[in-house]
Amino acid sequence: MDTRSGSQCSVAPEAVLNNGDLVLPPRISRVNGWSLPLHYFQVVTWAVFLGLSSATFGIFIPLLPHVWKYIAYVVTGGIFFFHLVVHLIASCIDPADFNVRLMKNYSQPMPIFDRSKHAHVIQNQFCHLCKVTVNKKTKHCISCNKCVSGFDHHCKWINNCVGSRNYWFFFSTVASATAGMLCLITILLYILVQYFVDPGVLRTDPNYEDVKNTNTWLLFLPLFPVQVQTLIVVIIGMVVLLLDLLGLVQLGQLLIFHIYLKAKKLTTFEYLIKTRKEESSKHQAARKDPCTQMEEGFLQQGDGALGSSAQGDKAKNSLLTFKCLYHHSTPLPSDKSSSEQEADDEPSPSSLRAKVKSFLLIYKSPCHFCTSVNPDGDSSAKEADVVRSLSSLG
């Protein structure tokens, strides 16, 4: 058994359940977002980007008046080009820890983690799978099966881990995609308004001089003009607008979330660890109430665990008695004077605690409903659960 001491932070590259599916770590560590197999989210991302780019520069911007057309080409084109560059960089960078990149041979299969030898993959800043010393913020990603420096999360959309080496490229990818979609929505809304107000404004291109039918529109100007009917343009515009709005909502939420994380100086991993600890603390505080423990015990054990229905009824009635003892230790107000009330035979706090203790001892054996369970668990195990969940985060 491993006897290393010190801080522990790890994710075991073992088979885990993700939304009911069994997830196995790859035998060969992934280098970057282009390592096979490609994720279908990644394929969808690039397909949408190419589709929106073609529609923007081939259909909608050519419909704008000359002045706005050139402004749209420069501004929107610059944003789309910047997005393409940072998106490629975020996908191509290997976010692994420096020592992993220095010493690791990506062509060799990774060993299977043996939990009988080591409690965690990373112990005392040493990874038992990568066989290297790593820094404090390094985590072993189950999806990439390697240690990632400054681990934030594993992004399916770029098919790569997001760590300290490529985080700002990832952030720029999200920000530029959001800005590009805002530009496209602005262009689409302008075209929609002008179509109902003054359609002639949208037909200023010289190629329209030979088009006599006002229901005929030209796509892919000025290089490859294709004549289509108004309905086709409307359908394309509605589909693009719908995709744009859906993407803007998702990307906007993600961008705001990461701006919040940067303001708090947290990574996604640290934020989820903090959130789970707070939820666990609240749950643990709620379980300190003996009545809550007893009621949860009844729900967990059921009448069948009590041996018979009669015994179950007896235990439930006793629970009501216990709750009366616990919650009604203070006598109800009366018309007696204070001196008369002091003379009354009231149960003292010590005697009440003694009664409660006796009650618990009597009923603990048959139904075990007063046995508390630690919901918090090992902190390293919780971190492992978080990293596993982040391995499927987009």
The SS3 call for residue 305 is: helix
334: left (phi over 0), alpha (psi -120 to 50) or beta: beta
Q: What distance in Å separates the CA atoms of residue 369 and residue 292, rounded to the nearest whole number?
A: 10
DSSP characters for 234-298?
Answer: HHHHHHHHHHHHHHHHHHHHHHHHHHHHHHHT--HHHHHHHHHHHHHHHHHHHTTSHHHHHHHHH
From 36, 129, 18, 73, select the one nearest 389 (Cα to Cα): 18
* Active-site option among 127, 144, 147, 155: 155
Residue 372: partners with Cβ closer than 8 Å, 6 or more residues away: 287, 293
Within the chain, residue ranges assigned H as helices are 40-55, 66-92, 98-103, 167-197, 230-264, 268-286, 290-301, 309-327, 338-343, 349-367, 379-390
155 is catalytic: yes
Q: What distance in Å separates the CA atoms of residue 112 and residue 240, rounded to the nearest whole number?
A: 46
307: left (phi over 0), alpha (psi -120 to 50) or beta: left
Q: What distance in Å separates the CA atoms of residue 345 and residue 355, rounded to the nearest whole number?
A: 16
Question: Is residue 121 a contact partner of residue 146, using CB atoms and an 8 Å limit?
Answer: no
Catalytic residue ranges? 155
